[in-house]
Amino acid sequence: MRTGTAGRGREGPPSIDGVIDSDVLDRVLARAVRTGAGFAEVFAEDRRSTSLAFDDGRVDRVTSGRDRGAGIRVVNGSTTGYAHTSDLTEAGLLAAAEAAAAAAGSGGAGERVVGSVGSRTEGRRHSPVLTSPGDIAKSDRVDLLLAADDAARSAGSEIVQVSAGIGDTRRSVLIANTDGVNVSDEVTRVLFRVSAVADGDAGMQTGYRSLGHTVGWEIFDTVEVADLAADAARQALVKLAARPAPSGSMPVVIKNGSGGVLFHEACGHGLEADHIAKGSSVYAGRMGELVASPLVTLVDDGTMTGEWGTAGVDDEGTPTQRNVLISDGVLTDYMWDLLRARREGRTLSGNGRRETYECLPMVRMTNTFVLAGPHDPDEIIAATDHGVYVSELGGGSVNTATGDFVFGMREAYLIENGRITEPLREGNLIGNGPKVLADIDMLAGDFAMGGPGTCGKDGQGVPVGDGQPTLRVSSMTVGGTAA
């Protein structure tokens, strides 16, 4: 069921936990495997969201919506059948189970006896919610947007446009399967974003900041949206005086918390087990090998309190956990979903994720980051005679089969004689994931997570986090326009 309304009143958090009882799940799963399939799963979801958009000094749009339904997966050998429904009655679920079973085909083994899914458990709450977004009035949300608009415009007369948005998503899930899993989980996420446009002799330049955490509205008790807006305006104003970025191979220093997306894209996707199974990753068959600088330890962790990719369980009912993927430069593990881990005899890692109940789960990252190193950030700058300091990376793309990538530089500066000097216009970083990992020669102790992200894969988007300390890559290609 999908609805869209404007200006909905206050409400409590959604819950799918009491909608489908365990006896119904037993009967639905039994129907799903009665022709001999080896595995069946029910994934039910209730998602509510609210957002306000603010542009040119006024509220531009208020939206709210609710999406509730269930997906049923049936696995028969190497064939998977999937059906979803917005009808959460027993009859609706049984019909979806029949459809998924038919799509999976007959195993020719007759009916399979399925044991009870057992008592329902709750996913561990890594990010408690103190103030439910459903209790926040529209006027309070508008006040935050007005404060952001005022702070950005106060940064300078060159600021000619400010856009901001604030929203929340409250998601309740229930997962049960023929392995005996019967678990529920609730996750609340709150997002704020602001962009500012400055107009000057160099044309229009944009600054952007965002804040996103898996917490309740209490996040705004500790973070000032005015500070974020002022920083977005500062970024836009700095770019007005920027010079063209250099071009060629040179050392690149990336500020803490701002470059985690590089590791997410350039190597994280290549460590997902589906890419490994297809042979479409440069890391396939390299377990136990040195794949990065010995300074690098790469972790994916879905349990980090408050981070954007955090949840109690993944979308297959597996508890999220901390998974060390690369340790001191050595590849130690991949990320796994339920079916691939079982097929390969591997331990579940809690990385089976899906966008909504309408989607099949796949291997996905949660919060992916590089651990802190032994150096001081100032030491890294001082040790760099000439290069580029990237204060914030923009979007990018990567070929997981080769590791080749291109990323934009949203905010960057020239490094000259061991000092950060002039701002640079936006350019690109061009490189290869495995080579960049090997070429990290300095890593600071100032670890920080970056802003919220949405990871797209095979048409699905899920919330993810990333982060890293300040680090230096000894040589990377900068795609600038300066001669």
Phi, psi of 313 (to 5 degrees): -135, 160
Alpha carbon distance 153, 156 (integer Å): 6
User: End-to-end alpha-carbon separation of the chain, Å?
Assistant: 57
Please give the residue that has the higher pLDDT: either 10 or 256: 256
Question: How many helices and strands in the chain, by DSSP H and E?
Answer: 9, 24
Given this model, what pLDDT does residue 2 score?
Answer: 25
Domain spans of the chain, in order of start: 2-240, 247-479
- CATH of the structural domain 2-240, one choice from 3.40.50.1820, 3.20.20.210, 2.40.160.10, 3.30.2290.10: 3.30.2290.10
| Token representation of residue 387 | 């290069």
> What is the DSSP secondary-structure string of 276-309?
HHHT-STTTT-TTSB-S-TT--EEEETT-TT-TT
pLDDT of residue 298: 97
Q: What is the pTM of this model?
A: 0.92
DSSP for 177-235, please give it: ETTS-EEEEEEEEEEEEEEEEEEETTEEEEEEEEEEESS-GGGGGT--HHHHHHHHHHH
pLDDT confidence of residue 118: 59
Residue 420 CA, chain-centre distance (Å), reads 31
Asked whether the beta carbons of 288 and 152 are under 8 A apart, the reply is no
With a pLDDT cut of 90, the percent of the chain lying above it is: 82
Summarised one tens digit per residue, pLDDT across range 41-86 is 999 999 999 999 999 889 989 999 999 999 999 999 889 999 999 9
Over the stretch 109-144, which tens digit does the pLDDT of each residue have? Answer: 443 444 556 566 777 788 889 999 999 999 999 999
Task: Let me know: does 177 contact 40? Beta carbons within 8 Å.
Answer: yes
Query: CA-CA distance, 470 to 448, in Å (whole number)?
Result: 9
Cα–Cα distance, 272 to 464 (Å, whole number)? 14
Cα 358 to the center of its chain, rounded Å? 19
Which uninterrupted H or E stretch holds 472? Answer: strand 471-479
| Interval 420-445 mean pLDDT | 94
pLDDT tens readout for residues 337-362: 999 999 999 999 999 999 999 999 99
pLDDT in tens, 279-306: 999 999 999 999 999 999 999 999 999 9
Mean of the per-residue pLDDT values of the chain: 91
Helix (H) or strand (E) holding 58: strand 58-76
